[in-house]
C-alpha cells in the first residue's frame, strides 16, 4: 500500500500532481485545504473557525487539524486504498500525529514528495490561480503571510523527513508531465525496495 505525503510551499503544485497520482495509482486523496474550504462554503461551525485562520494565511491549530485528519482517514476509501496527503502535515506535531495514526491503522508512510519551487514562481502561480478561480486566500497580502508561515512552521519538516530517509526532492519548476515522471520514477523505485 502506498501512503504518500505531497510536501511543498503553497503554490508548489501539490494539487496538480495529486490529481495525476490518484489517476495512476488509484489512491485516496486527502487535501486538508479542500476539506476546510468545503466547510466554509457550507457555512458550518468548523467552516467559520477555519475561515478566521485561512483568510489571514495562518494555520488552523494542530489539535483541530489532527481531529479532522482522523475523521478523514476513517472513510472506507482511505482504509482500502493508499492515501495521498496533500497539505498535511504542516507542523512537526502534525507529522508525529500522522505517523502514530498510520501505525494504529497497521500501515506507514511510503515517502514524502517535496516539490521545490523558487519563491517568485510560487507568488506568480498563486496570483494567477487567484485571478482564474477567485480563491479567496490567493491575494498578495495573504500569499506573503502563507509563505512566511511555510518557512517558519512547515519547512522544518523537510529536515524531519530527511532524517528518516523519507524525503524525495523533486524539482517542481517546469513542465507538469516532466515533474510527474520524476515523481513516479522515485515512487516506483522506492516501492520495489
> Which residues form the catalytic set?
14, 90, 129, 135, 146
Q: Binding ligand AMP by CB under 6 A: which of 9, 90, 138, 182?
A: 90
Q: Which residues fall within 8 angstroms of residue 190, CB to CB, at 6 or more apart?
A: 110, 111, 168
Q: Which of 49, 171, 186, 51 is CA-nearest to residue 112?
A: 186
What is the number of other CB atoms lying within 10 angstroms of the CB of residue 110? 18
Size of the site for ligand AMP (CB under 6 A): 17
Kindly provide the b/e burial profile for residues 19-40, where b requires at least 16 CB atoms within 10 angstroms of the residue's own CB: ebbeeebebbbbbbbebbbebb
Site for ligand AMP in 17-76 (CB under 6 A): 32-33, 36, 53-54, 57-60, 65
* 88 belongs to the binding site for ligand AMP (CB under 6 A): yes
Q: Which residues fall within 8 angstroms of residue 109, CB to CB, at 6 or more apart?
A: 3, 4, 5, 98, 99, 102, 166
Mask for 109-148, x = binds ligand AMP (CB under 6 A):
----------------------------x--------x--
* 179 belongs to the binding site for ligand AMP (CB under 6 A): no
CB of 126 to ligand AMP, least distance (A): 9
The answer to whether 110 and 3 are in contact (CB under 8 A) is: yes
Q: Of the two residues 52 and 191, which places its CB atom closer to ligand AMP in the complex?
A: 52
Q: Of the two residues 131 and 185, which places its CB atom closer to ligand AMP in the complex?
A: 131
Q: Of the two residues 60 and 83, which places its CB atom closer to ligand AMP in the complex?
A: 60
Q: Which residue is nearest to ligand AMP (CB)?
A: 33
In total, the chain counts a number of residues equal to 193
Residues in touch with ligand AMP (CB under 6 A): 10, 32-33, 36, 53-54, 57-60, 65, 87-88, 90, 94, 137, 146
Amino acid at each position: 500500500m502506498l501512503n504518500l505525503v505531497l510536501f511543498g510551499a503553497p503554490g508548489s503544485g501539490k494539487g496538480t500532481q495529486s490529481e495525476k497520482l490518484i489517476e495512476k495509482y488509484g489512491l485516496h486523496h486527502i487535501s486538508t485545504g479542500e476539506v476546510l474550504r468545503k466547510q466554509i462554503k457550507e457555512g458550518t461551525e468548523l467552516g467559520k473557525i477555519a475561515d478566521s485562520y485561512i483568510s489571514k494565511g495562518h494555520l488552523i491549530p494542530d489539535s483541530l487539524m489532527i481531529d479532522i485528519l482522523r475523521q478523514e482517514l476513517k472513510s472506507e476509501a482511505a482504509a482500502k486504498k493508499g492515501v495521498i496527503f496533500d497539505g498535511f502535515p504542516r507542523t512537526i506535531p502534525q507529522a508525529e500525529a500522522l505517523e502514530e495514526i498510520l501505525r494504529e491503522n497497521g500501515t506507514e508512510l511510503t515517502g514524502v514528495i517535496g516539490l521545490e519551487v523558487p519563491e517568485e514562481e510560487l507568488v506568480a502561480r498563486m496570483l494567477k490561480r487567484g485571478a482564474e478561480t477567485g480563491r479567496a486566500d490567493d491575494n498578495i497580502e495573504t500569499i506573503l503571510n502563507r509563505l512566511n508561515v511555510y518557512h517558519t512552521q512547515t519547512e522544518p519538516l523537510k529536515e524531519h523527513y530527511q532524517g528518516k530517509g523519507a524525503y524525495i526532492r523533486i524539482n517542481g519548476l517546469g513542465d507538469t508531465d516532466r515533474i510527474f515522471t520524476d515523481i513516479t520514477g522515485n515512487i516506483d523505485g522506492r516501492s520495489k525496495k
